[in-house]
Amino acid sequence: MLRRTFLGCGLAMGLSSTLRAADGSKGFDEAAAILQRATASGQLAAASLYVSRGQDARSQSFGTARNVDAMYLLGSISKPICMTALMALYDQGGFRLDDPVRKFLPKFSGDAREGVTVGHLLTHTSGLPDQLADNSTLRKSHADLPEFVAHAVRTPLSFPPGTRYQYSSMGILLAARIAEVISKVGIRDLVERSVLTPLGMSRSAQGLGKFRLDDFIPAQMDGAAPESGGGDPSSIEWNWNSPYWRQLGAPWGGTHASAPDVGRFLAEFLFGQGKVVNASTARLMTTNQNPAGIQPRGLGFNVGPAAGSRGCSPQVFGHTGSTGQLSWADPATRTICVVLTSLPALAANPHPRELAGAAIASVPS
């Protein structure tokens, strides 16, 4: 089954009944055909596609996704969304990127931790690990976010801060905790009020929000990442589909959203709308902030060729999710591409999201 919708993007994000020829229907149709074949074969249970170019957009759902408003667990696309809540506080003067983390989290001290700045957390150069060594134990015990923070502040650094790149979900966790300290608001409510509501992301939530568990597309667990419970038959109470994980609202992977809502989020940065962060802050977040010789990263965002699909320009920014998601925006072509699926990223090579994204990126502006 598939369902198609035409939408208006850009500044208005309203409804439209037409799609301009310049929008690259051929690329969209090719991407849609890829996802349709993948759902028809049973490889994907569900998928949603959203593409915008300039002022116009097109969206389609596949498989068990009932319509284009179907909501998925975003995985690591949660990171730039949650860090946008933090950067809204930056615009208000709540912190500086060179502030030491211990200014806000005093227990984060000793063993070179004094040298870790907020900027290091956002660019994955802090030396903190991706997942905690006792991640599975914490999830099995249904640990809350404060307990994860308590473990993260004392976990050893892998290298002196600022000297290397190491993808770090725990760095994002501590950055989210800093946002809570500054705002005195929990991260789930903070994301809702400072990001989702201003951008009109009504089919999104940090954790469950106002929704029920069965409002979301279940993740296919075969081939899922080990830290999510993939390959562990006893993980049913803490894996991606468990009530525990879905309501936790982990800032590194617990946001839910529809494909058009992720498109609305990316439009804030592509068009410098200023609804959530200043245009200058949006540029800061979506351009490389790491020194030469260290893998490029923006603030919460991935940037450069690795952030997009094959065929994107070097200016592309975005993020993927291990739950099977892909999202990017390319300023060179004013294109936004969002592919959300139920199939874990590690479960297929090439993954249908990659093939669909490349079909969109291959269409000239």
pLDDT tens, residue by residue, 200-218: 999 999 999 999 999 999 9
Mean pLDDT of 292-310: 97
Q: What is the pLDDT of residue 56?
A: 84
Q: What is the pLDDT of residues 168-184, one digit of tens each?
A: 999 999 999 999 999 99
d(CA 303, CA 235): 33
Given a contact cutoff of 8 angstroms between Cβ atoms, the answer to whether 29 and 40 are in contact is no
Q: What is the pLDDT, as a whole number, of residue 364?
A: 74
C-beta separation of 318 from 267 below 8 A: no
Structural domains present in the chain: 2-361 (3.40.710.10)
Question: What is the arithmetic mean of pLDDT over 6-32?
Answer: 54
The answer, yes or no, to whether the previous bond of 350 is cis (omega within 30 of 0) is yes
**Distance between CA atoms of 358 and 316, rounded to whole angstroms?**
13
Q: What is the DSSP string of 129-178?
A: -SS-TTHHHHHHTT--HHHHHHHHTTSPPSS-TTSS----HHHHHHHHHH
Summarize pLDDT for 58-85 with one digit per residue, the tens: 999 999 999 999 999 999 999 999 999 9
Least confident residue range of 16-25, 190-199, 217-226: 16-25
C-alpha to C-alpha distances, 30 to 25, 26, 309, 347, 362, nearest whole angstrom: 8, 6, 14, 22, 10
Select from 209, 183, 211, 10 the least CA-distant residue to 85.
183
pLDDT, tens only, 277-294: 999 999 999 999 999 999
**Using one digit for the tens of pLDDT, what is the confidence trace for 335-344?**
999 999 999 9
Asked if 31 contacts 51 with a C-beta cutoff of 8 angstroms, the reply is yes
Please give the pLDDT value at position 5: 58
The 8-class DSSP code of residue 14 comes to -
Quick one: pLDDT at residue 319?
98
pLDDT value at 13 more than 80: no
Q: What is the pLDDT of residue 1?
A: 53
Taking all residues of the chain, what is their mean pLDDT, rounded to a whole number? 93
Residue with the two structure tokens 């093939």? 355
Kindly tell me the sign of the dihedral angle through the C-alpha atoms of 58, 199, 172, 281.
positive
Q: Is the pLDDT of residue 15 over 50?
A: no
Q: How many CA atoms lie within 13 A of 164 on its CB side?
A: 10
Q: Quote the pLDDT of residue 204.
A: 98
CA angle 88, 92, 94 (to 5 degrees): 90
CB contact set of 91 (below 8 Å; sequence gap of 6+)? 277, 278, 281
Confidence band, pLDDT 50/70/90 cuts, at residue 24: low
Sign of CA dihedral 218, 219, 222, 227: negative
Nearest CA to 174 out of 110, 106, 268 is that of 106
- Could you tell me what percent of the chain has a pLDDT over 70? 93
CA distance 343 to 257: 16
At 312-345, the pLDDT tens digits run 999 999 999 999 999 999 999 999 999 999 999 9
Q: Is the pLDDT of residue 7 over 60?
A: no
Q: What is the pLDDT at residue 231?
A: 84
Other beta carbons within 10 Å of 12: 10
Closest CA to 14 of 61, 52, 60, 66: 52
∠ at Cα 211 (329, 246), nearest 5°? 75
pLDDT at 11: 35
Query: What percentage of the chain carries pLDDT values higher than 90?
Result: 88
Q: Is the pLDDT of residue 232 over 90?
A: no
Mean pLDDT of the region 212-235: 92
